[in-house]
Structure 1
């Protein structure tokens, strides 16, 4: 795949994004499962990046697309890699610290942080719809985490430290989305994925002498499966964005909560508390409101541009 625009195929895009959500939820489950077996977070991140690097490079070589990773913006890739690696530690940390369903629900706050960042970074004017969505979304977080209503880790409550890690992870995901959006203006999708893993794998390898330890075969199988799920998710995500509108297919990401809830119950024997079913719908509704408003604004801008454009003679 190169940087060219593919013919829109909305149903294929939706299917690919549903598969992406399922794969990412499976990866999160495997991260948590490896954590319960004593695998260090830094080791998990290393294997995730290293195996993805090998997989992506081999795939590009098979497709004859290695030339698509050439870039004149290595500095921008470096900044994206730095933020992305930091974000991975927080995302994986949230999964290890929190139950899967709660960690997944809090990750849905990324669009709210994107709205806030658009104000701070780009001085964008935000109307009542998007501000209302931000307030609604964080109200959902408060309902979900129930701060101040009991001891951390109590039944039906979310560990406040873990919730803080998850919120920082969502903030970094939003920040990274702006970096990727900028890179997409000049770089092929595969180039963005390749340089992220190529630049971060050597960095994460520096921690291995301090965290690497022997594991039984079953634990190694979990680690390798986790890394391959990460690589597959990158491929599926890139493909979904080639065939469909991001504003529509991103809504499929909310299905990951269903997978997280099922994995939490079947693998970790953890039934979600009532607060999840009260808070998560508020967070999801706020995300849908932001997506709807962004689409309305995009249509308005497109109509305005069409009116300003001079007619051909």
Structure 2
């Protein structure tokens, strides 16, 4: 059933989802010193499942919401999505939260490249220029961490930078798989089966040293899983009330939140280099979203048979 457009409600839900996801990342980061990334992926994914099922029950969509026409599509999406999550969680233990957030913004920019490669989407000069600008910003953020001088380089931070960037690449590939899945699958099914797949795949990391959490760590990990489920529901709901092109830019409010949480909770002070690189990435991302909106309006006008201005 179509939903009446309520832009302010859509924006509010989107911002709420961003807040919840930043909280989730903070909970994972707080436990990262003791909990292996694979184990964190399990908690994040497994404890999101009850939240998603409860949401489907409230929506009276449990009977049909989990049906799938493309099981292998979910498997492939799960493989790359779980890899993205694990790499990102590993990076959270090695880098400040704002830097992880900034590097993660490379994912939607890389989607433009991967969509052209794998989905045959046409990419013109403007979007290619913005991709170059955004990746330039990523390199600026990464530059202090990839110091080649062995006397001053921090190998942990360099590894963290590489892991988070690899996670962004995997996240972009996951979004490409999602673009294919949405053609035949319900959103609820995509979210649910990803959580199931990620939970199962994360169990394969047990031989690499899972630990028995302390009570505090149990609380952090379960909280992260519940937050992940709530955040996904808020995000999904936001797109019911407003166009994606309107609410997508509000994703970048996560940088402000990450800087605040990093400073007040983890005593992480953002550097000028990180802020400059993040500004370029955000600018490129918003420009790509704006261009997508313009192209969407033009396509809509052509379908309606109206003359272009």
SS of 1:132's partner is: helix
**Alignment partner of 2:10 out of 9, 13, 16:** 13
2:163 matches 1:152:
no
Shift of 1:70: 1.4
The answer to whether residue 201 in structure 2 is matched with residue 203 in structure 1 is yes
Q: Distance in 2 between the 1:204 and 1:123 partners?
A: 32
1:270 aligns with 2:268: yes
Contact conserved, 1:111 with 1:290, CA < 8 A, in 2? no
Confirm or deny that 1:34 pairs with 2:31: yes
1:139 to 1:149, Cα distance in 2 relative to 1, 3 A: farther
Q: Is the 8 A contact 1:42 1:211 kept in 2?
A: no
1:148 Cα deviation from its structure 2 partner:
4.2
How many Å separate the matches in 1 of 2:270 and 2:288?
A: 26
Q: TM-score, normalised by structure 1?
A: 0.89
Instruction: Report the secondary structure of 1:207's partner residue.
Output: helix
Runs of at least 5 residues in structure 1 that lack an aligned partner in the other structure: 309-313
Provide the residue aligned with 1:106 in structure 2: 103
State the TM-score, normalized to the length of structure 2: 0.90
The alpha-carbon deviation at position 198 of structure 1 amounts to 2.1
d(CA) in 1 for partners of 2:59, 2:302: 41
1:210, distance to aligned residue in structure 2 (A): 5.3
> Map of 1:274-289 to 2, 5 A cutoff?
274-289=272-287
2:291 to 287, 290, 293: 293
Which ranges in structure 2 are unaligned for 5 or more consecutive residues?
none
> In structure 1, the residue corresponding to 2:305 is in which secondary structure?
helix
Counterpart-to-counterpart distance in 1, 2:109 and 2:195: 27
Structure 2 residue 53 is the aligned partner of structure 1 residue 53: no
Q: CA RMSD in A?
A: 2.1
Contact 1:13–1:249 under 8 Å retained in 2: yes
The count of residues paired between Structure 1 and Structure 2 equals 301
State whether residues 136 and 286 of structure 1, in contact with CA within 8 Å, keep that contact through their aligned partners in structure 2.
Answer: yes
CA contact (8 A) 1:10 1:244 kept: yes
| Counterpart contact for 2:105–2:281, Cα < 8 Å | yes
C-alpha displacement of 1:28: 0.8
Distance verdict in 2 for CA 1:243–1:40, change over 3 Å: same
Deviation (angstroms), 1:65: 1.8
Most deviating of 267-276 and 142-151 = 142-151
